[in-house]
Amino acid sequence: MNRFGSRIQFGLGGGLTPVVKKLIIANFAIYVLEFLPLKMGGIFPLMDFFALRPDQVTHSMAFWQLGTYLFLHNPKPPFFHILFNMFTLWMFGGEVEHVLGSKKFLRFYLMCGVGAGMFYILFNWNSPIPVIGASGAIFGVLVAFAVFFPERIITLLLFFVLPVHLKAKHLVAIFIAITFFSSIQGQLSGVTSGVAYLAHLGGALVGYLLLRGDSVFAKFLREIRFRQEKKKIMQKQREQDNVRQKRAEIDRILDRINEVGYDKISDKEKEFLKKASEFLSREE
């Protein structure tokens, strides 16, 4: 079967790769730790310590929150937050793990999550509002899937009834576009939706840079080297033009000396002849 041309349809089934399986188990296990105190009328006592709070990271150096917030989800019903994230990880993460290998996939997942948190903090430097959830890392996985399988056809059930067929690259592009415009709308309106759209965008950006960053960075370096070489060539050309101009002026003055004698040329010409001769001797 051509894995790049096969179709994915949302529904039950499919195997779990090792890291995807462990990530799902870890997320649900931690979710239970959050949910049980809430069920008993209390609150999750470690939420304040492990959720990502930009002001605590920037002012109190709570850097561990950049990694721990990934495994926290809203414990209050409905449970769409964790269910959607884990469902998406199950649907797309296995394919990406097959391509990258388990160790690289885990590193990729965590780096996308941490990068998403850093991207969010960049625009919310002093915010005390906590951010939780694996969505930033999940967006990185979605981008990886689109990079590895851009032509893969994915079937969605619109309103759970109408089947819609989209290529992976188009589906992920739509997700990112919706997230981007939702973020812009929230910023302009000043109304918070409770969704950290910037973290989602940050995870997508970090995921792309991790996969394509080498080529982009190499292209950037090539462009810098090209400009430097071009600058050197132009500088060399100007120096050569300057030498040619001086030699031409020296030849003119020497011809004049042959005609009228050295004593008859101007002091300015004598000074130029002296300095130009010294300059050319250094060049040679």
DSSP codes, 217-272 = HHHHHHHHHHHHHHHHHHHHHHHHHHHHHHHHHHHHHHHHHHHH-GGGS-HHHHHH
Q: Is 134 helix (H, G, I), strand (E, B) or coil?
A: coil
Q: What pLDDT score was predicted for residue 62?
A: 93
Q: How far out from the chain centre does Cα 267 lie?
A: 65
| Residue 163: per-residue pLDDT | 77
pLDDT for the residue numbered 199: 92
Q: How far apart are CA 144 and CA 50, in angstroms?
A: 27
Asked, as a colleague might, if the bond just before 78 is cis with ω within 30 of 0, I would say yes
Q: What is the pLDDT of residue 112?
A: 95
* pTM for the structure as a whole: 0.69
Judge contact between 208 and 126, C-beta under 8 A: no
Taking only the tens place, the pLDDT of each residue in 12-31 is 334 689 999 999 999 999 98
pLDDT of residue 160: 57
CATH of domain 7-215: 1.20.1540.10
pLDDT value of position 111: 94
pLDDT value of position 11: 41
Query: Residue ranges of the domains in the chain?
Result: 7-215, 223-283
Identify the pLDDT of residue 65.
95
pLDDT at residue 13 in the model: 37
Residue 256 has what pLDDT? Answer: 78
Ranges under pLDDT 70 in the chain:
1-15, 37-46, 157-161, 186-194, 214-221, 279-284
Please tell me the predicted confidence (pLDDT) of residue 139.
96
Q: How far apart are CA 178 and CA 176, in angstroms?
A: 5
Helix (H, G, I), strand (E, B) or coil at 159: coil
